[in-house]
Structure 1
């Protein structure tokens, strides 16, 4: 995340443009800030870096809101993980500015959001891993035979498959089916035995 005052000013202006549903143009952004493109790139990096930071800045409060809602429902273990991911995925699918971005720049969106080199995906995996570890530490959930990170990567891929279904397979993004997939994998109330050895264990 950006720390300098100049970078933050540029980031906030770009974020406002993104939420309004408009395309971020680095030349126009530089002009609105009264600087040249070289200064803007020095502050925030290239356009992909800026878009990645904006996308993650919007994902964090969405994840936090989903977590709070799950806590209000008093969900625990696998049910809480399902609840958080269900709410998060549904919010993404329904966010107008997000759908506008996916429609306008589908190839760039998939590259920035779903590839191995994606900062957004790695951060998302980190948040879901922390969620799994939290429920595991409380004794309410056991991810075995997968590790917490392996399960998190699987769950993130499920979320991506349904959030970007129109871009990946031409199907309509469907939060109901996404929740069904999370429940199928996590089986709330039917956690694996804690004696189940991890994959690859002798």
Structure 2
């Protein structure tokens, strides 16, 4: 019987292999993944959960550094800072080949995992944006009658509407529109997205 420490190491190895396959654009097949790791499916399940849980873990793990990079890419404050982060994060997802492959291959599962309360992914993104909004409120760079949590939820939903536009409405994904919509929500109608002229 494996010790908890060994189980954790093996679970991390399983997650690492699954993440590499996902980034390569491969469909995650739990049976094949288990075989590659030299274990049965029940052991893999104990390590990483079911397929949806594994995908959610990978998506969350990829979202956080992407969000951090978006945050580091702006020097603005207040509504403009939040809109910049939204637009940069959205563009990174729109541009990521592995992510678009996943959305095209499994659109219903992707939307369920990314945009509903059935998964931890949206919850974690809302929490991260809530921290950003609260920071701008606390610093006096943003004034808004809504709570940080409610604003964060709306910001995430706006981002989702434009990132997954091709799946939801058949229109092209558009990070600039996401940034502009967030700026408008936060009371900055004069906002100019990064990389565009006034």
Post-superposition Cα deviations, 1:43-78, rounded to whole Å, max 9, x if no partner, equal 0000000000000111000000011111xxx21111
TM superposition shift of 1:176? 1.9
Taking the aligned partners of 1:95 and 1:117, their CA distance within structure 2 comes to 24
2:86 paired with 1:63: no
Taking the aligned partners of 2:174 and 2:132, their CA distance within structure 1 comes to 23
What 5-or-longer segments of structure 1 have no aligned partner? Answer: 191-202
TM-score, normalised with respect to structure 1: 0.88
How many residues are paired up?
184
Taking the aligned partners of 1:184 and 1:77, their CA distance within structure 2 comes to 12
CA contact (8 A) 1:7 1:43 kept: yes
Correspondence for 1:97: 98
CA contact (8 A) 1:26 1:47 kept: yes
2:50 paired with 1:46: yes
TM-score, normalised with respect to structure 2: 0.90
Taking the aligned partners of 1:4 and 1:149, their CA distance within structure 2 comes to 33
* Aligned 1:1-202 pairs, distance under 5 A: 4-70=8-74, 74-142=75-143, 144-188=144-188
TM superposition shift of 1:180? 1.8
Taking the aligned partners of 1:59 and 1:90, their CA distance within structure 2 comes to 12
TM superposition shift of 1:109? 0.3
CA contact (8 A) 1:78 1:141 kept: yes
Aligned CA RMSD, in angstroms, stands at 1.3
